[in-house]
Amino acid sequence: MKIAFIGLGIMGKPMAKNLLKAGYELRVYDRNAATLEEMKAAGATICSCSAETAEGVDLVITMLPNSPHVKSVMLEHDKLAEKMPKTATFIDCSSINPVASREIAAKLAEYGIDMLDAPVSGGQPKAVDGTLAFMVGGKEEVFNKFKPVLEAMGSSVVLCGDVGAGNVTKLCNQTIVAVNIAALAEALQMGQMCGVEPEKIFEAIKGGLAGSTVMNAKAPMMMDQNFQPGFRIDLHIKDLTNVQDAAKAVDAPIPLTQMVLEMMKILHHDGDGACDHSALLKYYQKLTGEVLHH
């Protein structure tokens, strides 16, 4: 199967490499010359522009920051919808507003092109080791056809409903992750200030009901003051803003999401937007003047 992969960033590059490892033929383009060299060494075909990647492929995959970028690549600036074969399928792994997913799918349908929205969870570590969780929206027969492709990049691939359902599910995921990280930071900071070592708190509760994948991934980062991004605060702000928009459309109450979004916006304005979302801890450290430690 010949695949065009657009978006070789912190998530897209390891995902694309896993497709190559699985034996798929990959056509790629990126503005970063070093990234292209890396992908060429991994076995990808390097194209001179994004439009060229879509020539003669069976599948186009995008992994881009937000809705406008996907619309630009597929419909507006690069117009891959006009370049890709009408027998090809489009899978968008970006985390975008589900309304935008449905709009893009409707436009592609005019070209006779099927679409799946398939955002992911797991961050860079799971993108690297191929254990991402895919939340997918689209036709069941299209999902079944391309499920093996997604399984080359992830350990969980679930069809959630029609197009848009994948991104609705991702928004739910991002709410749960954000509130979890904020609660973890709040609890560890309070525990330390009450005289108990954060590492002991983590060890004691991680195997109980409060334990989670979020805790296992983020507690060590917080204690190490390691805020190198697996998933940047600015990207989580984007996701929670999409949650806000989706919730408003159906009048769903989201008080916890709103609170964490405001915390993230404060960190962004303090210059921490490029940090990992575990840097929610910095919100508490700035309030207390006390730094979390091992």
By annotation, the residues acting in catalysis are 170
Contact predicate 116/110, CB 8 Å: no
Q: How many of the other CB atoms lie within 10 Å of CB of 190?
A: 13
Burial state string for 230-243 with b = 16 or more CB within 10 A and e = fewer than 16: bbbbbbbbbbbbbb
What contacts 271, CB < 8 A, 6 or more positions away?
A: none
